[in-house]
Every structure is written in C-alpha cells, then in structure tokens.
Amino acid sequence: MFASFARNPDLHCHSTVSDGTLTPAALAQRAHANGVDLWALTDHDELGGLTEARQSAEALGLRFVPGVEISVSFAAQTVHIVALNFDDSHPVLQGGLQQIRAGRDQRARDMAADLEKHLGLSDVYAGALRYAGNPALMSRTHFARLLVELGVCRQTHEVFSRYLTPGKPGYVEHEWARLDEALSWVRAAGGITVIAHPGRYRFTETEEWALLERFKSLGGQGIEVVTGSHTAAQARKYAKLALEFGFYASRGSDFHSPGESICDLGRLAPLPADLAPVWDLLH
C-alpha cells in the first residue's frame, strides 16, 4: 500500500494530450513544486501522455498513478469516470478509448458549423484545431479558447455559460461510451473507477441516485469528493453520499491551465477524516 501515507494527492488533471495547456512533463514539475506527493494524469479518453508523465514523475521522485477520464453517456447527460491504476498497455482499454475518440472529429465539425451559423464566423474548425495539442482529441475547451481569442467572450468560463452547453449555440448532442462498457474496459485493465465531479451534473435527485446505484452495482468503487469543481457544500454532500454508498473518496484539482483553472495542482482542501481515501486501494 505504497500510497497510504500520501498527504497531498492530486488524482485528476489534464495535459496537452487532451484539453490542458501544459505538457505532461510540465504538469509533473508543477505538481511536484506545489507539494503533490501522489499524482495522476487523467486526460480525456486518451492514454498518450502517460509515458511522459510517468518518466517525468519518476525523475522528480513523485509517486505516479496512471489515469484517464472517460466520457460516458448516462440518462441523457455526459458523465465523466476517472479510471486509475490500470495497465495502460491493455488492448481492451486502449480499444474502448479509441472508439470514443473516433466520434470526436465529426462532433467538432458539427460544433464548428453551428458556431459559424450563430456567430457569423468562418474557419472555426481550423481555428479550434490550432488549440488542440492532439488532433484526435478536439474538445469543447479548444473551441472556448478560440472564442476568447476572437473576442466573442472574455474568459473560457464565460464561453461555457453562453455557448457549447445544452440548449446554447455550439452544443452538439453526442453518444459517448455506456457506463457498463467503460467500467468493463477499466476492470479488464486492472484499474479502479471513480465518478468525477458529481456536483457538476444536472441530474434530478432520482437520476443522481440511479447513477450512484448503477455505478456501484457495476463494481465502481470511488467518488470525487474534494475537487476543483465542487463548492464546500458540494464536498460535504458527496462526503455524506460516499459514506452512504460505501465509496472510497477521491481528491483532484481537475487542473487544465494556469490561466483558466481556479484550482491549481495540489491546492485543495483535505478529504474529510471519516472517509476512506481512494489511494488506500493503490498498491
């Protein structure tokens, strides 16, 4: 149980391999400089940054856990599942993620067309592509950065309140993986799964309960309690639900970029003391 003594774990962040602005190596350095002592890189639907992240962390003496944040569709919404501590060369996990990524390019083209129509812009796809460190992983974040560059909005946060979200221009419905599929891929690769930032979904209480029940029945073990996406009240709510459901609790900044992320790597409140930390499962 090498990680039991982690005092400042950060098990959720993004690099240029998905929608972050720092390379895996730069993230490792920043995590280490900020006092993180157990670190996971969790790019969206993509394992391509893990080798660089692992090597950089090892060189710094920073304990590293391979991770990925998987896009899932559940009850007509997108839910993110953070997977940790798997064999990142496993073909089942790699194939599943490849399947999710394959839908992203057409989605990006459709988003671009919708933004062009609503804003009277042109070349939106090519513009967003310039922000994508990995062309296989075009994300809404890359469009948000373009809209800031073009002066449509002042900040990426503002973009997500006016565009790119359900009912707003630039939003395109998309079918991601099914929850059961995603969990089976991670199980095949020997990893564990955690529901990412549960406070961010727009579920009714009944739908949220159904998600937690289903996740648990499929073998899901963890839930993020302390994350850059939660208010203190949300952390308390999900701490209580973690105890009720018997989930291990996770902690991660969801850091994307120095200029955009409110919460920096490692700069998070501690987990409430009565919760079982998910890092107790990381051998």
Contacting residues toward ligand AMP, per CB under 6 A: 19, 44, 71, 139-141, 156-157, 160, 256
Phi, psi of 143 (to 5 degrees): -70, -40
- The Cα 219–Cα 212 span in angstroms is 11
CA torsion 102-108-74-199 (nearest 10°) is: 130
Closest separation in Å from C-beta 243 to ligand AMP: 27
Closest separation in Å from C-beta 5 to Mn ion: 26
Which one of ligand AMP, Mn ion, none interacts with residue 157, CB within 5 to 8 A by kind? ligand AMP
- Choose between 56 and 156: whose C-beta lies nearer to ligand AMP: 156
Given the structure tokens 């409140």, which residue do they identify?
A: 269
Distances (CA, A) of 110 to 131, 138, 167: 17, 12, 15
Q: Contacts by 155-160 with C-beta closer than 8 Å and gap 24+?
A: 155/260, 156/260, 157/260
- Choose between 173 and 274: whose C-beta lies nearer to Mn ion: 173
Residue 41's closest CA among 28, 60, 58?
28
Choose, by CB under 5 A, the member of 43, 45, 88, 254 that binds Mn ion: 254
- Choose between 57 and 164: whose C-beta lies nearer to Mn ion: 164
- DSSP one-letter string for 64-115: EEEEEEEEEEETTEEEEEEEES--TT-HHHHHHHHHHHHTHHHHHHHHHHHH
Choose, by CB under 5 A, the member of 80, 140, 142, 145 that binds Mn ion: 80
How many residues does the structure list for the chain? Answer: 283
Which one of ligand AMP, Mn ion, none interacts with residue 140, CB within 5 to 8 A by kind? ligand AMP
Closest separation in Å from C-beta 97 to ligand AMP: 13
Q: Is 19 in the site for Mn ion (CB under 5 A)?
A: yes
Which one of Mn ion, ligand AMP, none interacts with residue 156, CB within 5 to 8 A by kind? ligand AMP
- The Cα 100–Cα 72 span in angstroms is 9
Closest separation in Å from C-beta 168 to ligand AMP: 11
User: Per-residue contact track with Mn ion, 170 to 199, x per CB under 5 A?
Assistant: --------------------------x---
Closest separation in Å from C-beta 157 to ligand AMP: 5
Closest separation in Å from C-beta 75 to ligand AMP: 17
CA angle 39, 41, 42 (to 5 degrees): 130
- Choose between 59 and 202: whose C-beta lies nearer to Mn ion: 202
Give contact residues for Mn ion (rule: CB under 5 A): 19, 69, 80, 196, 254
